[in-house]
Structures are given as structure tokens and as C-alpha cells.
Structure 1
Amino acid sequence: MLIIGELINTSRKAIREAVEKKDGQYIQQIAKAQEEAGATYIDVNCGTFMETEVETMEWLVENVLQATTLPLCIDSPNPLALEAGLKKAINGKSMINSITDETPRWNAILPLVKEYNTKIVALCIDDGGMPKTNEDRIRIADTIINKLTAEGVNIDDIYIDPLIKPISAGEQNGIEVLQAIQHIMESHPGVHTTCGLSNISYALPARKVLNRLFMVQTMARGMDSYIMDPTNKEMRAALLASQTLLGQDRFSRKFLKGFRQGLYE
């Protein structure tokens, strides 16, 4: 299970204020906390600083690397900011978030994936926009995987994000994503799927409960990566328990470790 720690994102008020104050110590604290909570990658996103994103990305990456030995997921819609982060990210194999099958985005991001030999998050979007049906979602995923592997990208480095739509906007939005995950994972052995979970609960109460339970459901369909807050005790507890029940935790070691750490009452 690959966990991408999502907390170093300037859309979060505390991170934005730390960047504005150049409070590197706070950034390092958040990076370290995510590593200690079990993150595999640290996501770095400063997209709200549009005019200074390149310089801000460099500063963020430099500070994160002072606190962790984890590899980084460089997260931006701006290819220049992506490359600035990749040049600084020296901890193992980096990840890019993200590429799509939109022609301009594809042409801008694919060369970075190949030059820096990164893992890549791929969103199910093409020149027609976001998928309108589940058939569209599956078709786009199939196309992106086939195109990336044809370009020499190792299938083990591909993480398909099926794009979760709010259940409040359509009662089938959850089950459609589950069906897409299962198709992707069964049709392309070796590929991975990932997502951020919070969209599923948008505009509904008890969002944390919905997010947590949907994570468990997606794991049962084969999803093997999440962009999430690893320091969230309830989410981490659900993830470890689900791994154990799905036969992904040899001798229940991770679950027992979580129990000893106080994750369960």
C-alpha cells in the first residue's frame, strides 16, 4: 500500500501561512509527522502561489528534504514548477501528480516523466473533458495506460486516479468508481490506482465516516494507493484493519502494531 501524505499543500491555511512567513521549521514538522505516521511519499503542492510557484516549490522541497528521507510527490498543474521540484527531489524515485490525456498536458508532462524516471499519477481526463459515464472513465484509463507503456513507462510506475465524483450529485457515483477500479486492476496487471477520498462525501454530513468507509470499499476492489492524511488516526486504523481482512497483512503484524500504538479501543 502506497500512501501519499497530502498535508503540505498551500491550499491549507496553516501551510500557506508558513510559506508566507518562510517558517521552514513548521514545514519540516509536518513532513516528519507524516513519515512517522506511515506515509510512503510526501506530496508537495504550492499551486495557490501562482506568480511565485517555481521559487516556492524549490523552497518547500528543500525544507521537506531536511526532515524526511521519503521520496516526494511533486504536485502542480505547472510544468515549470514540476521540473523545479523534480530537480531538487533527491530522495529515491519521485512521483509527478499529475498527467492527463489532454493533448497540451500530455505533451508537457510526458517528457518530465521520462527525463526524471518518475512514478506518475494519471487522471482519467482527455480532450473531451472529465468522464461523463463510467464507460468514458474506463476507456480513458485504458488509453492512458496503453499510451504510457508504449512510451516506455513501466506499468508499475503508473497510478490511475479514476476521479471520484460526489455521491450527493448522483447515487451511482460511488459504485461506478468501484467498478472502474476493479476493471483497471484486472485488465492491466501491475498497474496501480490511487485517489483522494474527500470528493465522495462533498456536501454531505459526517464526511469523515463516508470517506473512511469508501476507502475500505475501494481497497476491496483492488485500489492500492491513497492521497490522504496519514496522521488521521481513524483513517489509519481503518486502512490497517482493511489490509488485515483482505489478506494483505502477513500474520496481522501491521494491525497488531497499530493496536499497540493505541489506534483501536
Structure 2
Amino acid sequence: MLIVGELINSSRKPIAQAIAARDKAYLQDLAVKQVEAGANIIDVNCGTSLGEEASIMAWLVDIIQEVVDVPLCIDTPSPEALEAGLSRHKGKAMINSITAEKERWEKVLPLVTKYKASVIGLCMDDTGMPETVEDRLRVAERIVSGLISAGVPLEDIYLDPLIKPLGVNSSYGKEALESTRALKEKFPKVHLICGLSNVSYGLPERRLLNRAFAIMCLTMGMDAFILDPLDRSLMSLLTAAKALAGLDEYCLEYITAARSGKLVV
């Protein structure tokens, strides 16, 4: 199971303030804390830095790589900022994200192949957000076949079924879970990932919903999450769920986490 730490995102007010002040120490400390908490990759998003996103992205990649040696997920809709981050990255990066939208595909695919990055494919095309499981499967087929044709290895492809807020429509959670299961059945060698907190947007006690949804997604075949690794209860529940789902041989990961005091009961 892959954990992408979501916290260095300028849509969060403290991060936007830290970026504006070039508070290197604060941002580096947050990166280190996420890795120590179990993040395998650190997401980096500075999308609110209008007019200077590319230069700030390069700066963020530089300062974060000074203190952690895990890959970074370059998270931006801007091809310029995306390349700025990728060009500074050491080793294999992750791109968040590509879609089947014509313009986005044509601008991002060359960067995926140039930098040999792993890539998150959002199940969305020029018709808009998917409404059904079938919509997601149709778009996913285009994304996976297109990436394979471009030489991207299956293990570098992460499909995101697009999680929509449960508060908008009470069927969105079930729709996402059914889509996850269908995608795993159709593309068993492709990874599945989601931005976990999207499901709880606008609702009270969001962490409770996020935790429950993470476990349900894992049982449907989700093997990667973009989440807050500093939520110890969430991380503990995922560790337990992984053992219960038969994904932790002899429960060694669970036992190790328990012995090191990482599990919250």
C-alpha cells in the first residue's frame, strides 16, 4: 500500500502563508513529519501561487529533497509548473495528474515519458466528470491503453476513479466503491489511488468519514491513497485493515507497527 502525504498543498492556508513567506524550515519540517508518519511519497502543490507557480514549484522540490529521500508527487494543472518540478526532481517522480481530456493529454504525456515518471490518471475526459461506473471504465481504458502505447510500464500507472463529495449526493460513496472494484477487476496490474478527503468535503467530522471510507476502498482493491499521514487513527486503521485483507504476510507490518508504538487504539 502506497501513502502519498497530502499536507504540502497551498490550498491549505498555513501552507500558502509559509510559501509566501518562503518559510523553508516550516515546510521541511512538515515533509519530514509526514515521512516519519508513514508517507511513501510527498505531494507538492502550490497552485494558488498565481503567476509564479513554476518558480515556486522548483523551489519547493529543491527544499523538500534536502530533508527527505522519498519521491515527490508533482501536483499541478500547469504543464509549466509540472516540468519545473520534474526538472528539479532527483530520481523517479510521480505526476498528479493526466486525464483523457485532449489538451491535458497532449501536454502532460510528453512529460510522463521524458521524465519516466509514474502517473496518476484521473478517470475524466472532455465530456466532464464521470457519472457512472461504466463512464469510469470507458475513460480508464483510453488512459491505460494510451499510456501503455507510449511506453509507460503498468506498474507506473495509478488510476483515480474520482471521488466526489458525499454531501452533494449520498450515492457518490457507493459509486466510488463500485468503480474501484470494477477498475481492479478490469486492470488487475494497474494501481488504484484516490484523494481520500474528497469524499467528506463539506460534512462535519470529516476525519471519521475519511477513515471509514479508506478501509472500504482498501477492501475493494484500492492500493494507494493521498491522505493526511499525521492522522494516526487513520494510519492505524489502514495498517489493521491491510492485515485483515490478507495483504500483510504473517501480520508482520501490523506487529512491527504495534511494537514501535505507531498504532492508536
Asked whether the two chains share a fold, i.e. TM above 0.5, the reply is yes
1:256 deviates by 2.0
For the residues of structure 2 that align with 1:151 and 1:59, how far apart are their CA atoms? 30
1:50 deviates by 1.7
Structure 1 segments of 4+ aligned residues over 4 angstroms from their partners? none
For the residues of structure 2 that align with 1:136 and 1:200, how far apart are their CA atoms? 19
1:262 deviates by 4.7
| 1:149 counterpart residue number | 148
* 3-state SS, counterpart of residue 114 of structure 1: helix
| 1:250 counterpart residue number | 249
| 1:161 counterpart residue number | 160
* 3-state SS, counterpart of residue 222 of structure 2: coil
Letter aligned with residue 58 of structure 1: A
Any idea what the Cα deviations from partners look like across 1:175-222, whole Å, max 9, x if unmatched?
Answer: 211111111112112101101111212232222111101100000010
| 2:6 counterpart residue number | 6
User: What is the aligned-residue identity percentage?
Assistant: 47
1:138 deviates by 1.8
| 1:81 counterpart residue number | 81
Contact 2:232 2:262 in 1 (8 A): no
Note the residue ranges of structure 1 that are not aligned, 5 or more in a row: none
1:72 deviates by 0.8
For the residues of structure 1 that align with 2:253 and 2:134, how far apart are their CA atoms? 37
Equivalent residue runs for 1:1-265 within 5 Å: 1-90=1-90, 92-260=91-259, 261-265=261-265
For the residues of structure 2 that align with 1:213 and 1:80, how far apart are their CA atoms? 37
1:119 deviates by 0.2
For the residues of structure 1 that align with 2:23 and 2:168, how far apart are their CA atoms? 39
For the residues of structure 2 that align with 1:168 and 1:16, how far apart are their CA atoms? 26
* 3-state SS, counterpart of residue 256 of structure 1: helix
* 3-state SS, counterpart of residue 77 of structure 2: coil
Contact 1:142 1:184 in 2 (8 A): no
Using a 3 Å threshold, how does the CA distance of structure 1 residues 127 and 114 change in structure 2: closer, same or farther? same
TM-score when normalising by structure 1: 0.96
Any idea what the Cα deviations from partners look like across 1:94-130, whole Å, max 9, x if unmatched?
Answer: 1100000000000000000000000001111101111
Note the residue ranges of structure 2 that are not aligned, 5 or more in a row: none
TM-score when normalising by structure 2: 0.96
The alignment's C-alpha RMSD in Å is 1.2
For the residues of structure 2 that align with 1:203 and 1:8, how far apart are their CA atoms? 21
For the residues of structure 2 that align with 1:9 and 1:244, how far apart are their CA atoms? 31
* 3-state SS, counterpart of residue 99 of structure 2: strand
Structure 1 stretch 164-173 or stretch 206-215: which is displaced more? 164-173
